[in-house]
Amino acid sequence: MIDTIYFEEDISEHPRTLSILAKFKAARTIPIKRFGELFNQRKQNFRIQKSKPSLILAQKHNGHVLQAPGGFGIGGTKNFYFSHMYNCVYDCRYCFLQGMFSSANYVVFVNFEDFDKQIERIINQHPEETVTFFSGYDCDSLALETITGFAAHILPIFKNYPGSLLEFRTKSIQVNPLTSMKAISNCVIAYSLMPEVMSVALDNKAPSIKRRIETMSKLSKQGWKIGLRFDPLIHGENWRTLYEELIEDVFKIIPQKSIHSVSFGPLRFPKAMHRDIFKLYPEDPLFSGPLQQRGPIVAYRQEIENEMADFCRQMFAKFIPDSIIFQCTPEGQSPELENNERQTYSNNG
């Protein structure tokens, strides 16, 4: 429950600010100049904050839409991402957001219209190509939808551009804006998945895998295209059996015609990020497994990574054509993005 909301003074009268504040009548509201003065402050304790995050309402001034790293795509030739929000209501132990921001508070950017403009500009710059936009890179796309209304706002834009593609990456089972409208053919609702027993240990506060699969099934029946995201792949005892069961279950329930794409990728952290997250949660078993430093990243040993990737790819191939299976690899990054760890690693499920 959010009981503190900070808001930038410049957007105090913004209709979206007023609408969000109206949903939290009992919350203490605190005006601030710029969200960065609070959010980027040093000497914050992410772990304690995560136990009771506050909400920050702000305006995004630039960088509304950014180029996605190479090795991160689902078939389109141009890939971009945007985040109307920073941070997530869930607390997944492998998530890079833990090491990305010094604050666990949620930031919601209320100037959605500026995102619209930039999305449309990019689409118009590439009239002959399929431009894919990923939502949910720095947050979960749908988890706070009842508060932000972002999905309901952005979906109609994409209706006008059927040649482009929008992916909502989520673990949320609150999908009201989707179920209350006609499915849009160029929108993919992508669910992060891992074997239930791993999810119980790692996906803190997130809906169970069973509920996610039920929600995907519901959405597919309404005509929505579904993305299956096995990213990151988690190693552990009986991992083959666990993934085999999961993959078989998913494909038994979600009809092949509803599946837009399947992607999978290894667990990976930039070295500094791994150090920071381990410092935050040194007692977590995720960091006790066979992780090792490989150049600038910390990941499972190469043979484990390859074995898991090969196994999963073969499993997927039993149910869907190769053309819609995508492997996310840190090696696939664009050279110009090499120094931008944030854009290169995306264990945000």
Partner 1 sequence: MIGAPAIRWVIALKSEAKPIIEKLDMVPSKKGIDFPVYRDKKGYHWLIISGIGRARSAAATNYLQQESDAPPWSAWINIGIAGYGYDSYGALYLVDKITLEKSNLVAYPGVAFSTNLPRAGLLTVNKPKMDYSEPNLIDMEGYAFYEAVNKFSCRELLLLLKVVSDGPKSNVKELTSGKISKLISGNIENILSLVVQLEDFSKLEFKRLVPPDICRQIKEKWHFTVSQEHQLSILVRRWTSLFKENALFSEIKNQKSSKSVISYLSKVLDEYEVDWGQS
- Could you say whether residue 6 binds partner 1 (CB under 8 A)? yes
145/175 Cα distance (integer angstroms):
8
- Could you say whether residue 37 binds partner 1 (CB under 8 A)? yes
Of 50 and 212, nearer to partner 1 (C-beta) is 50
- Could you say whether residue 89 binds partner 1 (CB under 8 A)? no
- Could you say whether residue 47 binds partner 1 (CB under 8 A)? yes
Of 236 and 296, nearer to partner 1 (C-beta) is 236
Residues numbered 228-267 forming contacts with partner 1, rule: CB under 8 A: 234-237, 239, 242
CB-facing half-sphere around the CA of 166: CA atoms within 13 A: 28
Out of 296, 301, 307, 334, the only residue in the binding site for partner 1 (CB under 8 A) is 301
Q: Which residue has the tokens 């929600």?
A: 215
Residues numbered 185-214 forming contacts with partner 1, rule: CB under 8 A: 195, 197-198, 200-202
63/78 Cα distance (integer angstroms):
17
Residue 327 token pair: 């492997």
- Could you say whether residue 25 binds partner 1 (CB under 8 A)? no
CB 35 within 8 A of CB 107: yes
- Could you say whether residue 30 binds partner 1 (CB under 8 A)? yes
- Could you say whether residue 21 binds partner 1 (CB under 8 A)? no
Number of residues that bind partner 1 (CB under 8 A): 45
Of 54 and 263, nearer to partner 1 (C-beta) is 54
Residue 286, Cβ density class (10 Å: 0-12 exposed, 13-18 middle, ≥19 buried)? buried
21/56 Cα distance (integer angstroms):
11
Packing angle between helix 209-221 and helix 239-253, nearest 10 degrees? 30
